[in-house]
Amino acid sequence: MGNPFVLAAGEVGGDFFKERDVGDLCQAQTQHVFCFDWARENIDRFEAPTVQHLEIVIPALVIGFVVAFALALLAHRTRWLQPPLLAATGILYTIPSIAFFFLLLPLTGLGRDTAIIVLSAYTLQIIYRNTILGLNNVPAAVKDAARGMGLTPRQILWKVELPLAIPEIIAGLRVAVVSTIAIATLAVLISAGGLGTEMYGSNLTFPTSIIIAGAIVMLMALAFDAILLLVQRLTTPWRRAARA
C-alpha cells in the first residue's frame, strides 16, 4: 500500500501548475505577493473546494453537536458521569489532527468520511463542556421556583434549564465552528477535498492561491459565527429585555 500522504498530495496538486499560466510574470517577481489579474481570472476555481469544505464542516458540526449534547444531558442527570466524560472527550481533543486522520485511515480509508469523523470528535469536548457548564450555572432558586409551580424534572430541563444555558451552549458552538473550519483545511491530506486543495496543492509556492483560500476560510468562519449570534439573540429574548 502506498503512502497516503504522497498519494493525496499528488492528487490535489498535480495539475495546479498546468492550469496556471507559467508566463505569469506577476507571480514570478518576488515583490508581488498577490496577483490581482490571476485572482480575477481564476476565482471560479475556488467554488468547488468551498462547497467541498462545507460538505465536510456542516456534517461534522451536526454530528458533534448531537453526540456532545446527548452526553451532556446524560451527565447532567447522572452527575458522576461528568468527570469521566469530560476526560474522555478531552483525550480526543488532544490528539494531533494529522495523526488522528492517519490513525483512522486503516478503518475508514481516504476521503470525506474520515475527515467528518475526526472533526466531529474535536467538537465533542468544547460543546460538551459548555453545555454542562450552562446547565450547572442555572440558579438553584430558579429550579426550586419551577418545582413549586408543579413542573416535572423533564419540564424543568427543557423549559427552564436549557433556555437559560443557551448562551454558554452557543459560546461553545462558536469555538467549535471556528476550529472545525480551520482544521478542515487539512482534509486535503486524506483526499477529502476542501479549501486545503488550494493551499497545500500549490506546494506553498503560490501566495495568491493561498491568500484567497485563507480569506474564504475566514469569511466562512465569520458567517457561521454571525448566524450563531443571531440564533442566540432570537432564542434569548429575555436578555434583550434586561438590557432595555
Instruction: List per-residue pLDDT tens for the chain, 244 residues long.
Output: 444 444 444 344 444 444 444 335 565 555 567 778 878 888 888 999 999 999 999 999 999 999 999 999 999 988 899 899 999 988 888 888 888 888 888 888 888 899 999 999 999 999 999 999 999 998 888 888 988 888 888 998 898 999 999 999 999 999 999 999 999 998 888 888 888 888 876 556 668 888 899 999 999 999 999 999 999 988 887 766 556 5
Q: Which domain holds residue 185?
A: 4-10+47-237
Could you tell me which of 101, 55, 96, 100 has the C-alpha nearest to residue 194? Answer: 55
pLDDT score recorded for residue 2: 47
Residue 235 CB neighbours (<10 A):
14
Q: What is the pLDDT of residue 146?
A: 86
Please say whether the beta carbons of 85 and 71 come within 8 A: yes
In a domain, 128, yes or no: yes
DSSP letter string over the chain? Answer: ---HHHHHHHHHHTTHHHHS-TT-HHHHSTT-S--HHHHHHHGGGGHHHHHHHHHHHHHHHHHHHHHHHHHHHHHHHSGGGHHHHHHHHHHHHHS-HHHHHHHHHHHH-SSHHHHHHHHHHHHHHHHHHHHHHHHHTS-HHHHHHHHHTT--HHHHIIIIIHHHHHHHHHHHHHHHHHHHHHHGGGGGGGT--STHHHHTTTTT--HHHHHHHHHHHHHHHHHHHHHHHHHHHHH-HHHHHHH-
Structural domain includes residue 39: no
In this predicted structure, what is the pLDDT of residue 207? 81
Residue 41 lies in a domain: no
Contact 109, 1 (CB under 8 A): no
User: Would residue 30 count as lying in a domain?
Assistant: no
Question: What pLDDT score does 53 carry?
Answer: 94
244 within some domain: no
Task: Tell me if 20 is assigned to some domain.
Answer: no
Residue 242 within any structural domain of the chain:
no
Question: CATH number for the domain including 139?
Answer: 1.10.3720.10
* Domains held by the chain: number: 1
Residue 28 lies in a domain: no
